[in-house]
Amino acid sequence: MACLFGYYGPPAPELLARMAGLLIHRCPLGWEQVSTAADGYNRIEIGHGCASWNRGSQLAYSGTRALGYGGVLFNADLVSGAQPGTDLAERLLHGLRHQPEPDLERLEGAFVLVLAQDRTCTLVRDPAGVKALYWTVQQGRLLFSSEIKALFADPAVPRRMRLSALPEYLAFSFIPGAQTLFDGIEELQPGSILHFADGQAQIRRHFRFETLAAAGGDPAGDYPALVRTALEQSVAECLAVRPEQTPAVFLSGGIDSSAVLATACQQQPGIRFPTFSAHFGAEYPRENEFIQLMVDRYRTDHHWLEIRPAGFLEQLREIIWTLDDPIGDPVTVPNYLLARTAAEFAAVVLNGEGGDPCFGGPKNIPMLLARLYGPLPGEPAQGWLERNYLRSFQRGYQDLTELLDPALLRETGGIEALTEWLEPWFNAPEPDDFVNKLMSINIRLKGANLILVKVDKMSSANGLLALPPLFSRRIIETSMSCPPGIKLAGSVEKSVLKQAVRDWVPEPIIARPKSGMMVPVRFWFRGEMRRYGRKLLSRASLRRIGLFNPRYVEKLLAYQMDGVPGARHGLKLWMLITFLLWHEQMVETPLPIRSPAPPNRVLETTAIEH
């Protein structure tokens, strides 16, 4: 859902329908379209997947002007000059007629938006990056979509993999920044505006929260109260999306999701929220006792989902297909299965994503120690922090020289290219405090390119709107204004968030260290997924695509410890099968462009204003 797609430029008959045909999984309730001549040469056509939580159409046009958005907007009625109308899209289009830039920058919510007027097409992504939007320019035409695959509905767009993205994927488990795994296709970054005119695209990032970072702060400031107020406002906005229906809540047993549920229950006392959690069986570590503390305290209608390979392996190709841009984090499967279950009870779900990047969660302490002690003996000082940041992901960064074909690694610039890519992030003048700098990097990279995109795509594929109250513009701004020492207080991570909700969340959850959802892939690949992994990662499969070293992959499959830096065999195997399934569907085979049902609603005009 919240699926937005279309083009601006020379008319392309049937292109919009072909794009919809590649996004059928995000249009289970049909789709709508708007189409109008932007001038004597260019046309704007916008499609939108209909969602059960929508109120009216999310498309509008007036003469040569058109607007569409996907997701939810929290403050759209504040747009200057907005007039009462049938739908929010119509009110927005009217209000954005003259000098739209300031109003577009002020918009808050979880959304992507397109506006065509004055011979210019403008794309906008929400400040945190909850919703994703991809774009490319081919033959003078701007194409945009919530998923990459729809861009290939235009035969002019080449499906050519960007080889330098492969080390990035293996080091991070996702593709960081604006570029994707495909040459010429980019992801619009959060808090950014793209202007397309005369065949050229220009991007400007307007949400520069780094300038708000506080180094010292007011010693007498009541920062927990500020965080609490911001969280209350963010939760209230999410609850207002479908006030007639109680939203679901994902519970993990940690402070973040517990804080969201507690805040929602404070605002709607007496409401029995449907809550959902995943575990992997009694033989594996579980968060159940901490989850039960919240369930008992707030009397939620709780649903436990036990996840085992036998329950999802047949669907794994489908899950990777809906993931679209490969993310090698095994949490994608619980995200998908939880969303599918929750969608039977609600149209909207609240989650706890955002607490780690926004409030100084894991990985900051090792980076602070690295900065304090400097490089190891014999290791060059240049790129020391960048290399430690890459190691902190504990993915495949240290395996690259053995895992990738040597010629391919040289062609992509080697492992040095990764540290060089990160240098501008660490050398940026703002924020000047190192904790805030790490937070800034994690908000923009992990948040917008991993955490939020993963949850949104897995939820949208099941017709569910996932909203993260802890990853709103307001929360980011509030956290950045807090002194770093109260976010990371000694070794206590997310200290100010814990203080903000201490009277609402059971003390064992407040006091426990960060755990995270520990998907037991290291056991699965030695047991229930052993045959599956060996078949998919066979020498024949690896030689077919010619990117990986089969001997090193066999080391991983055999769980050999010698010569495998950092171990984590299961996670690395998961990253590899995710990539192979993605490569098979998105690169090797023809895309299944199916004929969608006709749009539910068509807005079309051929009028040209002069």
pLDDT digits (tens, 9 = 90+) for 394-406: 899 999 999 998 8
Query: Is the model's pLDDT at 78 over the cut of 80?
Result: no
- Residues 516 and 331: their CA atoms lie apart, in Å, by 10
Query: Is the model's pLDDT at 606 over the cut of 50?
Result: no
Q: What is the pLDDT of residue 217?
A: 63
Query: Is the model's pLDDT at 86 over the cut of 70?
Result: no
Higher pLDDT: 446 or 85? It is 446
Q: What is the pLDDT of residue 607?
A: 41
Q: What is the pLDDT of residue 605?
A: 56
Query: Is the model's pLDDT at 81 over the cut of 80?
Result: no
The pTM for the full model equals 0.95
Q: What is the pLDDT of residue 221?
A: 78
Q: Which helix (H) or strand (E) holds 574?
A: helix 569-583
CATH code that applies to domain 4-165+180-207+598-605:
3.60.20.10
For residue 236, the tally of other CB atoms under 10 A from its CB is: 15
Handedness of CA 360, 175, 109, 433 (dihedral sign): positive
Cβ neighbors of 399 (< 8 A, separation 6 or more) are: 170, 552, 564, 565, 566, 572
Q: What is the pLDDT of residue 214?
A: 65
Averaged pLDDT for residues 275-279 = 96
pLDDT in tens, 157-207: 999 999 999 999 999 999 999 999 999 999 999 999 999 999 999 999 999
- Residues 573 and 570: their CA atoms lie apart, in Å, by 5
Local confidence band at 79 (pLDDT 50, 70, 90 cut-offs):
low
Averaged pLDDT for residues 312-320 = 95
Averaged pLDDT for residues 380-400 = 91
Handedness of CA 212, 69, 451, 587 (dihedral sign): negative
Q: What is the pLDDT of residue 233?
A: 97
Strands 200-205 and 248-250: unpaired
Mean pLDDT estimate for the chain: 91
When mean pLDDT is compared over 26-35, 133-142, 372-381, the highest value belongs to 133-142
Q: Cite the DSSP H helix spans in 97-136.
A: 101-106
Query: Is the model's pLDDT at 306 over the cut of 70?
Result: yes
CATH class of 210-360+436-511: alpha beta
Q: What is the pLDDT of residue 234?
A: 97
Give me 173's structure tokens: 């488990």
Q: What is the pLDDT of residue 215?
A: 57
Check: CB of residue 130 under 8 Å from CB of residue 85: no
Locate the domains of the chain by residue range.
4-165+180-207+598-605, 210-360+436-511, 520-590
Local confidence band at 237 (pLDDT 50, 70, 90 cut-offs):
very high
Share of the chain above pLDDT 90, in %: 74
Query: Is the model's pLDDT at 147 over the cut of 50?
Result: yes
Averaged pLDDT for residues 418-430 = 94
CA 382 to chain centroid, in Å, comes to: 31
Local confidence band at 275 (pLDDT 50, 70, 90 cut-offs):
very high
Check: CB of residue 160 under 8 Å from CB of residue 171: no
- Residues 186 and 417: their CA atoms lie apart, in Å, by 19
Q: What is the pLDDT of residue 85?
A: 57
Strands 301-306 and 274-279: parallel
Averaged pLDDT for residues 381-405 = 91
**Which residue, chain included where needed, has tokens 């703002």?**
430
Q: Specify whether the backbone of 607 is left (phi greater than 0), alpha (psi in -120 to 50) or beta.
A: beta
- Residues 599 and 457: their CA atoms lie apart, in Å, by 22
Averaged pLDDT for residues 56-69 = 91
Averaged pLDDT for residues 560-574 = 88
Higher pLDDT: 276 or 81? It is 276
